[in-house]
Amino acid sequence: METVKRWFVTGIGTGIGKTIVSAVLAEHLKADYWKPIQSGDLEQSDSMTIRNAVSYSIRIHPERYQLNTAVSPHQAAEMDNIYMRVSDFSVPESDNHLIVEGAGGLFVPINSKEFMIDLIAKLDLALVVVVRDYLGCINHTILTLQAIVQRKLRVAVVVFNGDFNPWTYAVLLDNIPQNIPFIHVPTLKQVDKQHVKQCADSIGLCDKAQGV
C-alpha cells in the first residue's frame, strides 16, 4: 500500500511560487489541498487558483481563517478582530495525500508570539521548501534550512522553482544537507491544467522525495 504523503509547502520568502508548486505537487499525487490561512484576495484565493490549475476533481479543505486584508496574517487577523493561535489548527481528516500551503516563509507571524514554523511543528508535517532565484536567495535558503534543522523538522524535498543563475545554484547545492533531496520545477508558460499536468508528469518526485 502506498504511503500517504502529507506535506507542508513553505518557502524562503513571499512571492516565490508556493501556489504553483502546490498545484504541481497536488497534480502529481492527485492529493487534497488545504490553505490554513488566506490573507486577502478572497475573491481569487489560493484554493480557487489550485482548483482551476489541476486536471482532476480535487478535494479542497476549507481555510481555517479567511482574512480580509492582503497583509501579514497577524495584522490581517487583528484588523478583523480575530486572535489566531497555533492551537486553533489541526490537519483535515482525509485518507488521501494532502498538500498544505503556508503563508510566506517560516517566520511569518500568526500572532505576536507564534510563527508559521510553530504551526508546522504543531501539525507535524514534512516540509516542501520552495526556493526561487533572486538577490538574497542564498542567504534566505541557508537560514531557512538552518531553522528547520534547529527545530528538528522533517524535509520531504527542496524545490528549485524556475531558472537559476549558475553561480547561485552552485552555492545552494553545496549548502543543502546531503540527506535532503531536491527537484526542479521549470517556469510554466501558463498556469493552467495542461501546463501544470505536463510539469507534474515530468518532475520525478516520487523517486526523490521523502517523509510523510
User: Is residue 104 annotated as involved in ligand binding?
Assistant: yes
Count CB neighbours of 186 within 10 A.
15
∠133-137-140 over CA atoms, to 5°?
150
End-to-end CA distance of the chain: 14
Task: Say if residue 204 carries a ligand binding annotation.
Answer: no
Q: Is 18 annotated as a binding residue?
A: yes
Flag whether 105 is marked binding: no
Q: Has 163 been labeled as part of a binding site?
A: no
Q: Does 40 appear as a known binding residue?
A: no
| 35 counts as catalytic | yes
Q: Please indicate if the annotation marks 43 as binding a ligand.
A: no
Asked if 82 and 65 touch (Cβ cutoff 8 Å), the reply is yes
* Catalytic option among 30, 35, 189, 197: 35
- Residue 187 CA to residue 177 CA, distance in Å, equals 25
- Please say whether the beta carbons of 100 and 47 come within 8 A: no
Hey, which residues does 129 pair with through a beta bridge?
A: 10, 158
User: Per the annotation, where are the binding residues for ATP?
Assistant: 15-20, 46, 101-104
Residues that constitute the known binding site: 15-20, 39, 46, 101-104
Residue ranges for the binding site for substrate?
39
Residues annotated within a binding site for Mg(2+): 19, 46, 101
Which residues have a catalytic role annotated?
Answer: 35
